[in-house]
Structure 1
Amino acid sequence: MDHSHHPGSELPFWKRKTGIALIMLAVIGVFYVAREHFGHISQALPYLILLLCPLMHMFGHNHGGHSHRSETDTPKDDNRK
């Protein structure tokens, strides 16, 4: 039997049984902590929402109004005037 290590044959951590179990435990833990401290969390929600826009810009979110295309990238058969 060949037990040599083949590149790409190993699953990522989050797809293994231990990874799935740890992720489930973390989600359950976060749920109970959030449930117990909802009063504190709800007071911070307006500030967390205000932080979303800069964080989305830092991680590359595009609001839709910003276009990174130049004038030369437009299609040649565009009939708009």
Structure 2
Amino acid sequence: MSRRAVQGAIVMVALIGLFFLLREHWAHLAGSWVYLLLLACPLMHLFHGHGGHGGHGDDTGSSPSETKVS
């Protein structure tokens, strides 16, 4: 069995489990969705990938060919 097939099976089982979990606990989750949303904001800020900002500190704005030799 290929790795992609195993990953697909794991994702499908997780989605089915999530469906049944939400179905059973929807009554008390629906009452606290505002708090879950407010909790998600700082968590997304803390754990969001920080790789898309470019090279901080390393890039001075000029390439080596543009530097002037005096």
TM-score under structure 2 length normalisation: 0.55
> Which of residues 46, 53, 59 in structure 2 aligns to 1:58?
46
Could you list the runs of 4 or more consecutive aligned residues of structure 1 that deviate by over 4 angstroms after TM superposition? none
The reply to whether residue 45 of structure 1 matches residue 33 of structure 2 is yes
Letter in 2 for 1:47: Y
Match runs of 1:2-81 below 5 Å: 13=3, 16-60=4-48
Please give the alpha-carbon distance, in whole angstroms, between the structure 2 residues aligned to 1:32 and 1:52: 22
Please give the alpha-carbon distance, in whole angstroms, between the structure 2 residues aligned to 1:19 and 1:56: 24
What secondary structure is seen at the aligned counterpart in 1 of 2:31?
Answer: helix
Letter in 1 for 2:20: Y
More helix by share: 2
How many pairs does the alignment contain? Answer: 49
Q: Which residues of structure 1 form unaligned runs of 5+?
A: 1-10, 62-72, 74-81
